[in-house]
Amino acid sequence: MISICFYFQVHQPFRLKRDYSFFDIGVNHFYEDEDSNRAILNKVSEKCYIPMNRLLLELINKYNDRFKVAFSLSGIAIDQFQKYNPEVLTLFKELADTGCVEFINETYYHSLAFLFSKSNFKRQILKHKQLMKELFKQNPKTFRNTELIYNNELAHFIEAMGYTTILAEGADHILGWRSPNFLYQPSGCYKLNLLLKNYKLSDDIAFRFSNRGWEEFPLTAEKYASWLYSVAGNGEIINLFMDYETFGEHQWQDTGIFDFFKQLPEEIFKHPDFQFINPGQAHEYYTPVAQIDVPYFVSWADIERDLTAWLGNPLQNSSIEAVYALEKKVMNTGDQDLIDVWHKLLTSDHFYYMCTKWFSDGDVHKYFNPYETPYDAYIVYMNVLNDLHETILQRQKAKKKQSRKKA
Amino acid sequence: MKVLMFGWEFPPFISGGLGMACYGITRGLINNDVDIRLVLPTKRGIYSESQIEIVAADEVELSEHYRSLLESTYSFKTGKELLEHTISPYYTQSSAVEFFNKYQHLMTQQEGAHGNSVMAFSGNYGKDLMNEVFRYSVIGEYLGSLKDFDIIHAHDWVSILAGVAAKRISGKPLILHIHATEYDRSGENINQNVSNIEKFGMEHADKIVAVSYYTKNTIVSHYGIDPHKIVVVHNAVEKQKQIERFGIKKNLLDKYVLFLGRVTMQKGPDYFIEAANLVLKKLKNVRFIMAGSGDMMPKLISRAASLKITDKFHFTGFLNRVEVEKMYAMSDLYVMPSVSEPFGITAFEALLYDVPIILSKQSGVSEVLKDAIKVDFWDVEKLASVIINFLQDQKLAKEIVDKCKNELKNIHWNNAGNKLKNLYHAISFSHN
């Protein structure tokens, strides 16, 4: 049997107030742009999360549990569903109840913590794991890191935490001549299984579906299924990983994306050797064919498939170093509100907005960027961070005063 | 005595010193009983000024006949010769966008109120600047043809074509007031079209007013103008209202060192950052603030980020007038590290808020503030050590403020107005 493994990423950052200025530092401690966060969440819920969740429920019912998908929901996306649109969460819970949907573990704040603080990284994973248990009654055994950022060291860390499966980008430079359509094992691991994204087939849906300049346009479910069939004989598992917002938000409803997806399972089931599975089931069907050595970080972003969407220019480097430098001070306050506010500043999107490479990926960056320029993003972020720092310093002073009084 | 005056900026639409200087000059002239008809590209959103007759170029209605007549006239032809390319020496995307966003509401508010206008003027320094300058000259010629004035007074290159056109058709004398030259704005990478217009204006003017000896020197050395044709009239500052720091609370406890102005090469913001970096290595409780925007912002933000000083070095972006005043009031030291500063009116403004100042030697304002501390813009180490001195020595800071404010007592727009009035009389007399 050849397995189709769908995994969808759901994430929404807490965006900062774009007009948070120097004059706000030390005075205004409310950083979130609540209006636009609510508006964006509700818009995307309307266009994507709600209709697509309903469609998935319909498909699972229709195919009697033979249809399966997996999700990774960032913790802060869930926070926003609870805050602004609980209906979406109810639908996700219904999906969990079908038993056909796996919820994958990730960092709660969709952060790059692994690169800067291992202890915080672990903390965020456990917080997210707890949330998965509470909401969906699942104990995650599969992990995916923010934006599929991955290397050997991360795999070892995750294996040590007891996971059985990890996801990564099937980038050409890590696969070499190999195909992404097999189960692999991270180099040096003995229990952990590695699923690599088939970026070509994934991007055919996520990026090219509505591109009229594409030679395969228009993409039908029948045509797409025929491409999947062609893997038969030289692959075992086809990993289709993409942003969930592909459906209805990146590819609008009028492109026919929903009809395409509704039709897809039927086309795939026409071939008797094809089935759907969840990432966590892969090792029950297959054994890893080889170990993959990834000494350097890979991700699923941009053509480079590296970290340069979030790190590398002085704006990104100085701001991310500055925010992680506060970790100890923040944790020492013991103030849950401050700790939460600080964690929200770790979200990778903040650094993505500061990206200055505007080449072929510039369009994508621009689409997701609430700021006019990466420099604006940096200024606002640093103003906010400076205010948070100032708040912590004030707390420390007040504490010292108090303890002196007591003495 | 009636003056036909061509300006460009007027508060609150100001991107540099020209608007504030123009405002002060008109006040000084009114107090000297001079009648002014001030022509501006547009009236939209500007402070109303009951004592001045303001003519908005975008509200002047020309008949079809006069329009076609104008097309064949001199100003059009010369304009075309001079303006081979549409260019924009002030234009930077970031500042234009910020400026527009801030004032969009003001600009759109009154739209429709002048649907009959013949020409659309923004009065900004946008992409269409050269075309606007050119159209402005047509209006200049029309207003000149009315001949109901004694003298023409034009400010900076943007209004030169209008001033010369008015002079040609009316036969009245022209005074050209230079607040900044293309060499001040762009260093050696000048826009040739703009400097051509400047030279053209300087040659056609009957007299040139320079805002400083520094500027007079630039006009002589770069444009080959006879020094005897140039009169220096220093800028001043509005002092009527007593400025109170009271009521404005600093948002943070540290000392603030301020840079305020366009963030462009000639203002020396890069030297400010380098000096800040040196100071921050020695002093803890100090923050540096760069207020303003301009084409050097991306480079400077990257530089500050690379130096990892953005926990103590802040960028505010473009500030409106209220925010500017707040910024002065919160500051403990004002630094003007200009590479080339024809005048530098902001030094006066800082003093009004009792903020001690450090001036670049390459500035016009240092000619009148003799007691201010001056450094060469390129001497970053010296600048840093002077900043440290000021921040550590309260007595010195106060002493400098007091001395400079004492000098400021004699610097008044009424005096500048009086000088200009005398100049008007001398020229009309010799002209008749």
The answer to whether A375 contacts B297, with C-beta atoms less than 8 Å apart, is yes
- Cα B22 from Cα B26, distance rounded (Å): 6
pLDDT digits (tens, 9 = 90+) for B18-45: 888 898 999 999 999 999 999 998 887 6
- B chain contacts of residue A318, beta-carbon cutoff 8 Å: 305-306, 308, 310
| Pair A273, A267: CB distance under 8 Å | no
How many angstroms separate the CA of residue A26 from the nearest CA in chain B? 5
Please check whether the domain covering A2-292 is classified as CATH 3.40.50.300.
Answer: no
Answer whether residue B87 shows pLDDT above 60: no
Higher pLDDT, B256 or B246: B256
- Name which of A27-31, B13-17, B87-91 the model is least confident about: B87-91
How many angstroms separate the CA of residue B299 from the nearest CA in chain A? 10
pLDDT of residue A136: 98
- B chain contacts of residue A355, beta-carbon cutoff 8 Å: none
Give A295-335 as a 3 state SS string. Answer: CCCECCCCCCCCCCCCCCCHHHHHHHHHHHHCHHHHHHHCC
**Which has the closest alpha carbon to A83: A124, A42, A137?**
A42
Query: Are B51 and B187 members of one domain?
Result: yes
**Does the CB of A325 have a partner CB in chain B at under 8 Å?**
no
pLDDT digits (tens, 9 = 90+) for A46-94: 999 999 999 999 999 999 889 999 999 999 999 999 999 999 999 999 9
How many angstroms separate the CA of residue A394 from the nearest CA in chain B? 11
| B220 assigned to some structural domain | yes
Confidence label for A405 from pLDDT (cuts 50, 70 and 90): confident
Q: Which of A25, A321, A389 has its CB closest to that of B251? A: A25
| B244 assigned to some structural domain | no
- Cα B195 from Cα B178, distance rounded (Å): 12
Q: Among A32, A46, A87, A147, which one carries the catalytic annotation?
A: A147
Nearest Cα residue in chain A from B289: A22
Range of the domain at B200: 2-235+412-431
- Cα B166 from Cα B141, distance rounded (Å): 5
Q: Which string of DSSP letters, residue by residue, matches A356-392?
A: ---STTHHHHHHT--SSSHHHHHHHHHHHHHHHHHHH
Q: Which two tokens stand for residue A280?
A: 């966590």
Region A190-201: mean pLDDT is 97
Query: Are B288 and B357 members of one domain?
Result: yes
Q: Which of B98, B273, B315 to mutate to test the interface with A (most CBs of A within 10 A)?
A: B315
**Does the CB of B314 have a partner CB in chain A at under 8 Å?**
yes
- Cα B278 from Cα B380, distance rounded (Å): 8
The answer to whether A315 contacts B302, with C-beta atoms less than 8 Å apart, is yes
How many angstroms separate the CA of residue B245 from the nearest CA in chain A? 16
Nearest Cα residue in chain A from B324: A23
The answer to whether B305 contacts A378, with C-beta atoms less than 8 Å apart, is yes
Higher pLDDT, A155 or B57: A155
Helix (H) or strand (E) holding B35: strand B35-40
The answer to whether B323 contacts A23, with C-beta atoms less than 8 Å apart, is yes
How many angstroms separate the CA of residue B98 from the nearest CA in chain A? 10
| Pair B259, B272: CB distance under 8 Å | yes
Is A147 annotated in the active site? yes
Number of residue pairs across A and B with CB atoms under 8 Å? 61
* Domain residue spans of chain A: 2-292, 314-406
**Which has the closest alpha carbon to B171: B147, B189, B153, B190?**
B147
**Does the CB of A322 have a partner CB in chain B at under 8 Å?**
yes
What is the predicted ipTM?
Answer: 0.88
% of chain B at pLDDT higher than 70: 80
Q: Which of B94, B305, B308 has its CB closest to that of A373? A: B94
The answer to whether A379 contacts B301, with C-beta atoms less than 8 Å apart, is yes
**Does the CB of B326 have a partner CB in chain A at under 8 Å?**
yes
Region B382-398: mean pLDDT is 95
Query: Are B180 and B305 members of one domain?
Result: no
| Pair A146, A111: CB distance under 8 Å | yes
**Does the CB of B403 have a partner CB in chain A at under 8 Å?**
no
Q: Which two tokens stand for residue A133?
A: 């248990």
Give start and end residues of each alpha helix (H) in A85-117: 86-97, 113-116
pLDDT digits (tens, 9 = 90+) for A280-295: 999 999 999 999 999 9
- Cα A156 from Cα A188, distance rounded (Å): 8
Region B379-404: mean pLDDT is 95
- B chain contacts of residue A379, beta-carbon cutoff 8 Å: 301, 315, 317
How many angstroms separate the CA of residue A124 from the nearest CA in chain B? 26
Query: Are B393 and B419 members of one domain?
Result: no
Q: Which residues, listed in sequence order, are joined to residue B210 by a DSSP beta bridge?
A: B178, B232
Answer whether residue B365 shows pLDDT above 50: yes
pLDDT of residue A363: 59
Higher pLDDT, A277 or B142: A277
How many angstroms separate the CA of residue B321 from the nearest CA in chain A? 14
| B246 assigned to some structural domain | no
Q: Which two tokens stand for residue A70?
A: 């997996």
- B chain contacts of residue A386, beta-carbon cutoff 8 Å: 311, 314
Query: Are B309 and B168 members of one domain?
Result: no
| B126 assigned to some structural domain | yes
Answer whether residue B117 shows pLDDT above 60: no
What residues have CB less than 8 Å from A84, skipping those under 6 apart? A37, A38, A41, A42
Answer whether residue B62 shows pLDDT above 90: no
Q: Is A54 strand, coil or helix?
A: helix
Distances (CA, A) of B62 to A93, A225, B80, B117, B165: 71, 70, 21, 9, 16
| B245 assigned to some structural domain | no
Query: Are B271 and B124 members of one domain?
Result: no
Query: Are B163 and B44 members of one domain?
Result: yes
The total number of structural domains in chain B stands at 2
pLDDT of residue B180: 92
Q: Which two tokens stand for residue A247?
A: 């459906």
| Pair A374, A347: CB distance under 8 Å | no
**Does the CB of B97 have a partner CB in chain A at under 8 Å?**
yes
**Does the CB of A26 have a partner CB in chain B at under 8 Å?**
yes
**Does the CB of B297 have a partner CB in chain A at under 8 Å?**
yes
**Does the CB of A19 have a partner CB in chain B at under 8 Å?**
no
- Cα A49 from Cα A258, distance rounded (Å): 12
What residues have CB less than 8 Å from A318, skipping those under 6 apart? B305, B306, B308, B310
How many angstroms separate the CA of residue B94 from the nearest CA in chain A? 9
| B25 assigned to some structural domain | yes
- Cα A354 from Cα B310, distance rounded (Å): 15
Answer whether residue B83 shows pLDDT above 90: no
Q: Which two tokens stand for residue B86?
A: 């549409």
| Pair A286, A236: CB distance under 8 Å | yes
pLDDT of residue B68: 63
- A chain contacts of residue B305, beta-carbon cutoff 8 Å: 314-315, 317-319, 378
Answer whether residue B101 shows pLDDT above 70: no
- Cα A70 from Cα A105, distance rounded (Å): 11
- Cα B40 from Cα B143, distance rounded (Å): 12
| Pair B315, B297: CB distance under 8 Å | yes
Instruction: Supply angle C-alpha B120, B124, B129, rounded to 5.
Output: 70
Query: Are B129 and B179 members of one domain?
Result: yes
Query: Are B196 and B339 members of one domain?
Result: no
pLDDT of residue B267: 93
How many angstroms separate the CA of residue A237 from the nearest CA in chain B? 45
Task: Output the average pLDDT for chain A.
Answer: 95
Region B243-262: mean pLDDT is 83
pLDDT digits (tens, 9 = 90+) for B154-188: 999 999 999 998 998 899 999 999 999 999 888 77
Residue A148 Rama label (left phi>0; alpha psi -120 to 50; beta): left
**Does the CB of A379 have a partner CB in chain B at under 8 Å?**
yes
Answer whether residue B124 shows pLDDT above 90: no
Residue B323's CATH number: 3.40.50.2000
- B chain contacts of residue A394, beta-carbon cutoff 8 Å: none
Query: Are B151 and B276 members of one domain?
Result: no
HSE-up of residue B408 (Cα within 13 Å, Cβ side)? 21
**Does the CB of A396 have a partner CB in chain B at under 8 Å?**
no
Answer whether residue A264 shows pLDDT above 70: yes
- B chain contacts of residue A321, beta-carbon cutoff 8 Å: 308
Query: Are B342 and B389 members of one domain?
Result: yes
Sign of CA dihedral B349, B352, B356, B359: positive
- B chain contacts of residue A27, beta-carbon cutoff 8 Å: 251
| Type of residue at B261 | G
| B243 assigned to some structural domain | no
| B249 assigned to some structural domain | no
Answer whether residue B115 shows pLDDT above 60: no
Q: Which of B97, B252, B305 has its CB closest to that of A315? A: B305
Higher pLDDT, A313 or B88: A313
Answer whether residue A239 shows pLDDT above 70: yes
- B chain contacts of residue A21, beta-carbon cutoff 8 Å: 316-317
Measured from the Cβ of residue A395, the count of other Cβ atoms closer than 10 Å reads: 16
**Residue A320 burial by CB count (10 A; 0-12/13-18/19+): exposed, middle or buried?**
buried
pLDDT of residue B85: 33
Query: Are B214 and B274 members of one domain?
Result: no
Q: Which string of DSSP letters, residue by residue, matches B201-253?
A: HHHH-SEEEESSHHHHHHHHHHH---GGGEEE-------SSPP--TTPPPSSS
Nearest Cα residue in chain B from A313: B302
pLDDT of residue A351: 96
- Name which of A75-84, A367-376, B421-430 the model is least confident about: A367-376
**Does the CB of B316 have a partner CB in chain A at under 8 Å?**
yes
Longest dimension (CA), chain A: 79
pLDDT of residue A301: 86
**Does the CB of A382 have a partner CB in chain B at under 8 Å?**
yes
Region B395-399: mean pLDDT is 93
Distances (CA, A) of B370 to B102, B145, B358: 37, 45, 12
Higher pLDDT, B125 or A336: A336
Nearest Cα residue in chain A from B288: A22
Higher pLDDT, B63 or A35: A35
The answer to whether A318 contacts B316, with C-beta atoms less than 8 Å apart, is no
Q: Helices (H) and strands (E) in chain A — how many of each?
A: 18, 12
The answer to whether A22 contacts B314, with C-beta atoms less than 8 Å apart, is yes
- B chain contacts of residue A384, beta-carbon cutoff 8 Å: none
Give start and end residues of each alpha helix (H) in A176-304: 199-206, 221-229, 257-269, 282-285
Q: Which of B311, B314, B315 has its CB closest to that of A322? A: B311
% of chain A at pLDDT higher than 90: 88
CB contacts under 8 A, A 193-252 vs B, are none
